[in-house]
Structure 1
Amino acid sequence: MRYFCYALLVFILVGCAATKYVPSKINGVSFVAAGNAVDSTHTQPVANIYANAAAVMPFGFIRDKSHPEIIHSTNRQWFGETKAGVKQYIEALRKHDMAIMIKPQLWLRHGEFTGFLKMESEANWKILEETYSSFILKFAELAQETNAEVFCIGTELEEFIKNRPDYWHNLIKEIRTIYKGKLTYAANWDEFWRTSFWAELDYIGIDAYFPVSDMQTPTVEDCIKGWEKHKPGLKEFSETLDRPILFTEFGYRSVDYTGKEPWRYDRSMTSVNLEAQNNATQALFNAVWKEDWFAGGYLWKWFIDHDRVGGLENNQFTPQNKPVEEIIKAHYKVN
């Protein structure tokens, strides 16, 4: 009997060792900040689509390039954009066993693209760096306090990173002294190739608005074909750096030509095309999700008042109360 048990144990161990471990994917949503605290009525819809992770996004604000001081954690901000709000959101999401990414972001006045943020004097660079450190380290402390699984050190800041590389290398070192979890950075889809510090982080983070189709109503097949133009480079990049790729944002508007320039959010695009959103989303799942180099991602974007947002007349990114919500639910349930 002892020999049989020993032989069985050896068989199990050898069998397990021979099977490649494949970690579960991050099936996440970008949980948008609001002016109030959240409760189960706000978080249950996230659990209902079988999401296992959520990005919580505090904001800092910059008036303009001539006034580079980052304003953050003030009583003039929405509750969900502050440290207290982020902590409360995390506590509510944890009740559904959600893994958490804290993803601090900047907002430039008039919605200017943060990737172009570039100072014109050394004095202004210093102000930007000092106030960015204050902003980001505050939330690194919160990430450690709340045991957040992932912390994102910045979002779409190409010019800032390109012009001040020493600052970013030193900032990462300082964050590591505070926060002991996984680090990433959310690079724009056409920026990540040039980001210099991936080897110092745990995930290659990409806001994945890759163009995949020029069709007005893209088919699943055409979008998959479009992904084949990007996947070899992503795979090679991941393998070269020995880091998995994480889509820190992904998603498509329910609008005509949604796969052509997926990053566009301007109001000049007025059509409503639910089928386009369905097909582009399904194609991303089919083309990318099971790849070994891919860690998962966070859907852009999910608002807290589920019953009041999205819907069949909405042409923005949110999948809420649209047919694509069922596609996401079906995919997240089994992956």
Structure 2
Amino acid sequence: MKLIKPLFLFIIITIQSCTGQVSKINGISFVASRDKINERHVSPVVNVNANYAAIMPFGFISNLSHPDIKFNTERQWFGETKVGAKHYIETLKKANIKIMLKPQIWIRRGEFTGYVKMKNEADWKVLEKAYSNFILTYAQLAQETNTEIFCIGTELEQFVINRPDYWLALIKEIKTIYKGKLTYAANWDEFKRTPFWSELDYIGVDAYFPVSSDKTPSVEACLKGWEAHKSTIQLFSKRYNKPILFTEYGYRSVDFSAKEPWASDRNMTQVNLEAQTNATKALFETFWSEDWFAGGFIWKWHHNYESSGGKNNSRFTPQNKPVEALLKKQYGLK
């Protein structure tokens, strides 16, 4: 038996290495809403073969240089609060959906969080205290709910670059509370400068890389566009000996969807379902079979499935669009 068991394990490991499909994180970004959820809201997540959901409670800052963070208040939507996030986590877990808890900051008028930067040392100290209160509250919730992955921040480049010592100390403090896997969601053009990957379990990237300037990009054009980005991403995985996790990925169903995939302008209304599907297919073909790639969370998934997305919808969600069938097929691969 001592000879058989190692041989058996070697065979299993070999098979897993060849397929590249073992334990991929096939995730959806589950949008916080006003409402509680139940089995009816979760079954479409199961039906698309997702095995993970990102739960995203919010904190709010009034402007880019304001140091205070408001969170977990009665004025917020239910799903944006601690009790709402806990409810979402517990309801999804009943359906065997694993969780990444991903608290996020929203700035009034939707200004980009990567530009949050204080004007003086006193304000930086206030922001640090406020952010610690915010993120440690949810680290405690992640531990309490046995959440599998905790994301310590999302697209906060100027905060990270200007206060690296704070972030290293924060990670240490988080680890005294939460015992699961850690990541940070760096923007696609930020991850190369993030200074603390060695302290985390996944290199997290919000994968809105520009890969084609075509109105309706072909799969082939997007595959070509990924080549340079992929080599850089793989280099970082090798450098830190950490898997890459796309903490967000996805495309809008609009013209030029792969040109600036981060764009969320409301005046982009020309629906192009083929562009969304082709760009998503190329992303799957580029990454999902790689053993250094952990998986990702598509942006974004609404609880009210029946009324979400659809063939006249120009937003990111894959719901009730052709790309949903592609997602289901990819997530169903073993």
The interval holding the TM-score normalised by the smaller chain is: over 0.9
Q: How does 1:286-305 map to 2 (within 5 A)?
A: 286-305=285-304
Please give the per-residue CA displacement for 1:252-280, whole angstroms capped at 9, x wherever unaligned. 00000001100000112121000000100
TM-score, normalising length from structure 1?
0.96
CA distance in 2, matches of 1:14, 1:156: 40
Please give the per-residue CA displacement for 1:16-37, whole angstroms capped at 9, x wherever unaligned. 4655655410000000000111
Q: 1:65 deviation in Å?
A: 3.8
Mean alpha-carbon deviation: is it higher for 253-262 or for 58-67?
58-67
Amino acid at match of 2:54: A
CA distance in 2, matches of 1:38, 1:128: 33
Structure 1: which 5+ residue stretches go unaligned?
Answer: none
CA distance in 1, matches of 2:24, 2:198: 21
Structure 2 partner of 1:195: 194
Amino acid at match of 1:217: T
CA distance in 1, matches of 2:175, 2:57: 20
Q: Would the alpha carbon gap of residues 309 and 166 (structure 1) be closer, same or farther in structure 2, given more than 3 Å must change?
A: same
CA distance in 1, matches of 2:308, 2:204: 28
Q: Would the alpha carbon gap of residues 20 and 37 (structure 1) be closer, same or farther in structure 2, given more than 3 Å must change?
A: closer
Structure 2 partner of 1:167: 166
Assess if the C-alpha contact under 8 Å between 2:65 and 2:116 holds in 1.
Answer: no
**SS of residue paired to 1:255:** coil
Pairing 1:15–2:15 present: no
Q: Would the alpha carbon gap of residues 223 and 66 (structure 1) be closer, same or farther in structure 2, given more than 3 Å must change?
A: closer
- Give the aligned length: 331
CA distance in 2, matches of 1:191, 1:24: 27
Pairing 1:239–2:238 present: yes
Q: 1:305 deviation in Å?
A: 0.5
Pairing 1:112–2:111 present: yes
CA distance in 2, matches of 1:317, 1:40: 24
CA distance in 2, matches of 1:216, 1:161: 35
Q: How does 1:1-335 map to 2 (within 5 A)?
A: 8-9=4-5, 11-16=7-12, 23-335=22-334
CA distance in 1, matches of 2:289, 2:12: 21
Amino acid at match of 1:239: K
The RMSD of aligned alpha carbons is 1.4
CA distance in 2, matches of 1:312, 1:196: 42
Please give the per-residue CA displacement for 1:26-81, whole angstroms capped at 9, x wherever unaligned. 00000000011100111111111000000000000011245321000111100101
Please give the per-residue CA displacement for 1:186-207, whole angstroms capped at 9, x wherever unaligned. 0000000000000000000000
Assess if the C-alpha contact under 8 Å between 2:64 and 2:111 holds in 1.
Answer: no
Assess if the C-alpha contact under 8 Å between 2:205 and 2:245 holds in 1.
Answer: yes
Structure 2: which 5+ residue stretches go unaligned?
Answer: none
**SS of residue paired to 1:304:** coil
Q: Would the alpha carbon gap of residues 14 and 250 (structure 1) be closer, same or farther in structure 2, given more than 3 Å must change?
A: closer
**SS of residue paired to 2:332:** helix
CA distance in 2, matches of 1:16, 1:222: 36
Q: 1:239 deviation in Å?
A: 0.4
Q: 1:10 deviation in Å?
A: 5.9
Mark the structure with the bigger radius of gyration.
Answer: 1
CA distance in 2, matches of 1:329, 1:187: 26
CA distance in 2, matches of 1:131, 1:145: 22
Mean alpha-carbon deviation: is it higher for 138-147 or for 10-19?
10-19
Q: Would the alpha carbon gap of residues 18 and 106 (structure 1) be closer, same or farther in structure 2, given more than 3 Å must change?
A: closer
**SS of residue paired to 2:95:** coil
CA distance in 2, matches of 1:125, 1:304: 37
**SS of residue paired to 1:183:** strand
Q: Would the alpha carbon gap of residues 120 and 282 (structure 1) be closer, same or farther in structure 2, given more than 3 Å must change?
A: same
TM-score, normalising length from structure 2?
0.96
Q: 1:15 deviation in Å?
A: 3.5
Amino acid at match of 1:12: F
Amino acid at match of 2:93: R
CA distance in 1, matches of 2:222, 2:249: 14
CA distance in 2, matches of 1:180, 1:155: 20
Q: 4+ residue runs of structure 1 moved beyond 3 angstroms?
A: 5-11, 13-23
CA distance in 2, matches of 1:181, 1:20: 23
CA distance in 1, matches of 2:90, 2:312: 33
CA distance in 1, matches of 2:236, 2:180: 23
CA distance in 2, matches of 1:165, 1:40: 42
CA distance in 1, matches of 2:325, 2:62: 40
Q: 1:228 deviation in Å?
A: 1.0
CA distance in 2, matches of 1:30, 1:115: 20
Please give the per-residue CA displacement for 1:176-222, whole angstroms capped at 9, x wherever unaligned. 00000000000000000000000000000000001111110000111
Identity, in percent, stands at 60
